[in-house]
A and B are shown apart, each in its own frame.
Chain A
Amino acid sequence: MSTRMNIDWPQLMLTRIAAQFEEELLAASDEEIIAAAKDLGMNPGMQGSAAFAGIKYPVGARQLREFFGITDWSSAPIEAQRLAAARELLPFLVARARKHQDEK
């Protein structure tokens, strides 16, 4: 098995799962959506329902940031730290996979 295949499996798994989730959500009946909304205390039949947050009116942090012109309301620094950690970790994983492959 190549190194690339060892590394790519999370993406492949996630792609398959996301495709199935999409199918499930497309197949969901109106009743199922209303029931799930009611579980959350939402009433999609009501004008301005929280269920429509982000689609009928902006509520996302990014949208609010754009509205108020505030630039530091962002998870970007956290994301940058996460990616930096990933960059440090990945060469180690690749080296280990190669070593494993060589041993085989």
Chain B
Amino acid sequence: MPQRKMLVPILAETPAQAARAQNLVSDMDLLRLKTIARWHARGLPADVGWADLLQEAFARVLDGSRRQPQGLSMVVFVAGVMRSLKSEHWRRAGRELHYQRAQAAEPREPAPDPERTMAALQELAAIDRLFADDPVVLQIIAGIGEGLSAEQIRTAIGISSTEYDSARKRMRRVLIREGLTCRQE
């Protein structure tokens, strides 16, 4: 994150080093978190990579600025911290935009954040492309985007719960593959 303070009381060059410092997660959980980090980082500016996001999340956990709630597994907790860091980034960007507009004496009516809107539109298009070969999964994703429940989506598309679960498995496999691929952004 652009304005980060140094957080980890260790010299960690990679997220794994940060995590390993206190045996926080297993190798498989690291892979799980890598795939999640890649999804969360996609809507962020180009200079913030998924590895930065993941490392920052571990750093916040290690320095105690984020405390793990009882009963929540470390992998779920770190994923939540990444989500929260992403929101934090956009909140900060929004405040900066508001400040710039105030300085320029522009009207103070609520206005959209062009960077965030454009990033979201690009990301939605990328998701469409990723699942272009699977129309059922695309319909499910569209339903999720509209805020529909699984039951509502199944009814709208007209598929059984078995077909729905099967489509979700296909979706998950594509998501994992996309998250593990060596391409770096």
Contacts and interface: CB of A to CB of B under 8 A. Distances in A.
A21 to B, nearest CB: 5
Contacts of B118: 82-83, 86, 90
Contacts, number: 169
Interface stretch (B3-11, B33-41, B60-68, B154-162): B33-41
B180 A10 contact: no
Nearest to A57: B14
B112 A8 contact: yes
Interface in A20-37: 20-22, 24-28, 30, 32-33, 35-37
Chain A binding surface, main DSSP class:
helix
Given A25-B175, A83-B115, A51 B31 contact: yes
A81 B49 CA distance: 19
A66 to B, nearest CB: 9
B27 interface: yes
Contacts of B47: 62, 74, 76, 79
A100 interface: no
Given A14-B124, A25-B172, A55-B34, A83 B114 contact: yes
B30 A52 contact: yes
B98 interface: no
A44 B27 contact: yes
A90 B111 CA distance: 10
A51 B31 CA distance: 7
B145 A36 contact: no
Given A10-B124, A54-B50, A39 B177 contact: yes
Contacts of A33: 28, 31-32, 35, 176, 180
19 contacts: A14-B123, A14-B145, A17-B141, A21-B39, A25-B176, A33-B180, A36-B173, A36-B176, A37-B31, A39-B177, A42-B180, A52-B30, A54-B14, A58-B14, A60-B49, A76-B47, A90-B117, A94-B111, A94-B112
Interface of B: 13-16, 27-28, 30-36, 39-40, 43, 45-47, 49-52, 54, 75-76, 79, 83, 110-112, 114-118, 120-124, 127, 141, 144-147, 168-169, 171-173, 175-177, 179-182, 184-185
Name the 7 nearest CB pairs between A and B, nearest first. Answer: A13-B145, A36-B176, A10-B120, A86-B118, A7-B112, A79-B46, A56-B16
Given A25-B32, A33-B180, 15 more contacts: A7-B112, A11-B117, A14-B145, A22-B83, A24-B172, A24-B175, A25-B35, A25-B79, A33-B35, A53-B182, A57-B14, A60-B49, A63-B51, A75-B46, A78-B46
